């Protein structure tokens, strides 16, 4: 079972409101006293933000629908084929989303109806966070609560330390540079979380920094050729720093930095946060600050080396069963 965050069914205010209501009601995501947060969410956010966010989705929506859903479906099909080629067995791969459809319960019912009794759950988050991976665990527990006969399960916590994952990231950057040349700076931008979450034990920022160091080591870059940052902050409290937009604005004002390339290693598939926030909004930030050239390097998506890595990860965990 591959699990990602989720997406609205359509790029309109009603669909976005339904999606945000589910996503932002998760206490793993927002750690504010429930009564206070309910008032803020339903009194302000769900009245104001759906229309604005829907317009952002409209800028990245394709004929195939949501980019995240379309790419996730391609990953699902490619992974099932790769596993079958390696094992000679038609092992089913189902896709689930923490929020929206197909839900964890929907995917679970599909697996159960096909007679599956053992499930490997693979959250598509390379670096563990309580806001993402742990939310999958919680959602899975809720989905299984009505089930009288629980399946045997393996839950994959993270995979950023795998050499083949780091190699796939480095390969994607090298291949981009082979075609487009090298930048003055490479920025590895990760989805952010509030600093308060790290202070109370969430290891996600540490995993991000470890990922960045491992990729840079493979690329052979010097300290002045790259940096890491965190994007997508929300609200007024302090988030993990440095902030992506602030750093790009600073670089744009630097006369010695003409071109910047950005890659997002925390995302296994391109989505609104990469295609609209990073590829579009942050490009404007850098160029308006004085930068000359800005490139976004796509996520690993359904690259063959990414799918091969995922297949190896799954089969290593399933070795006893196989």
User: CA 280 to CA 270: how far, in whole Å?
Assistant: 13
Strand partners, 260: 185, 294
**Confidence band of 76 (pLDDT split at 50, 70, 90):** very high
Which segments are annotated as binding site?
191, 273
pLDDT digits (tens, 9 = 90+) for 141-188: 999 999 999 999 999 999 999 999 999 999 999 999 999 999 999 999
End-to-end CA distance of the chain: 17
> Which whole number is the average pLDDT over 37-55?
96
Give the sign of the dihedral formed by CA 78, CA 82, CA 85, CA 91. Answer: negative
Class of domain 67-159+303-317: alpha beta
User: CA 192 to CA 152: how far, in whole Å?
Assistant: 33
Q: Is the pLDDT of residue 322 over 90?
A: no
Q: Give the residue extent of every domain in the chain.
A: 7-60, 67-159+303-317, 163-297
Token pair 């995993």: residue: 207
pLDDT of residue 307: 98
Mean of the per-residue pLDDT values for the chain? 97
Token pair 């004929």: residue: 63
Return contacts of 133-136, CB within 8 angstroms, 24+ apart: 133/157, 133/158, 134/28, 135/26, 135/28, 135/29, 135/98, 136/3, 136/98, 136/104
pTM for this predicted structure: 0.95
User: CA 275 to CA 299: how far, in whole Å?
Assistant: 10
Which segments are annotated as binding site for Fe(2+)?
191, 273
Task: Name the token pair of 251.
Answer: 């670089």
Please say whether the beta carbons of 241 and 186 come within 8 A.
no
CA 308 to chain centre: 18
pLDDT digits (tens, 9 = 90+) for 254-309: 999 999 999 999 999 999 999 999 999 999 999 999 999 999 999 999 999 999 99
The DSSP annotation for 165-219 comes to HHHHHHHHHHHHHHHH---SEEEEEEE--BHHHHHTT--HHHHHHHHHHHHHHHH
Q: Is the pLDDT of residue 251 over 80?
A: yes
Please say whether the beta carbons of 318 and 283 come within 8 A.
no
Longest dimension (CA), the chain: 65
**Confidence band of 118 (pLDDT split at 50, 70, 90):** very high
Class of domain 163-297: alpha beta
Task: Name the token pair of 208.
Answer: 């991000």
């Amino acid at each position: 079972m591959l699990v990602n965050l989720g997406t609205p069914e359509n790029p309109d205010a009603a669909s976005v409101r339904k999606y945000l209501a589910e996503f932002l009601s998760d206490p793993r995501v927002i750690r504010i006293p429930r009564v206070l947060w309910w008032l803020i969410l339903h009194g302000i956010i769900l009245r104001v933000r759906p229309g604005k966010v829907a317009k952002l989705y409209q800028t990245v929506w394709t004929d195939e629908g949501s980019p995240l859903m379309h790419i996730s479906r391609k990953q699902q099909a490619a992974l099932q084929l790769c596993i079958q080629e390696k094992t000679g067995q038609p092992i089913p791969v189902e896709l689930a989303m923490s929020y929206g459809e197909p839900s964890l319960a929907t995917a679970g019912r599909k697996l159960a109806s096909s007679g599956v009794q053992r499930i490997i759950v693979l959250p598509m988050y390379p670096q563990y966070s309580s806001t993402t991976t742990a939310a999958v665990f919680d959602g899975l527990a809720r989905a299984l609560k009505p089930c009288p006969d629980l399946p045997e399960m393996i839950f994959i916590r993270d995979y950023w330390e795998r050499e083949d994952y780091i190699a796939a990231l480095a390969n994607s950057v090298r291949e981009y540079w082979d075609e487009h040349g090298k930048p003055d700076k490479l920025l590895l931008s990760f989805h952010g979380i509030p600093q308060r979450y790290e202070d109370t034990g969430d290891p996600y920022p540490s995993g991000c920094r470890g990922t960045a160091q491992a990729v840079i080591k493979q690329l052979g870059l010097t300290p002045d050729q790259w940096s890491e940052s965190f994007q997508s902050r929300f609200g007024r409290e302090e988030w993990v720093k440095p902030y992506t937009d602030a750093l790009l604005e600073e670089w744009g004002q630097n006369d010695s930095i003409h071109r910047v390339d950005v890659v997002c290693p925390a995302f296994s598939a391109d989505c609104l946060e990469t295609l609209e926030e990073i590829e579009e909004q942050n490009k404007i930030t850098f160029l308006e600050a004085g930068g000359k050239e800005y490139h976004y390097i796509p996520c690993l998506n359904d690259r063959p080396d990414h799918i091969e890595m995922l297949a190896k990860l799954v089969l290593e965990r399933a070795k006893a069963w196989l």
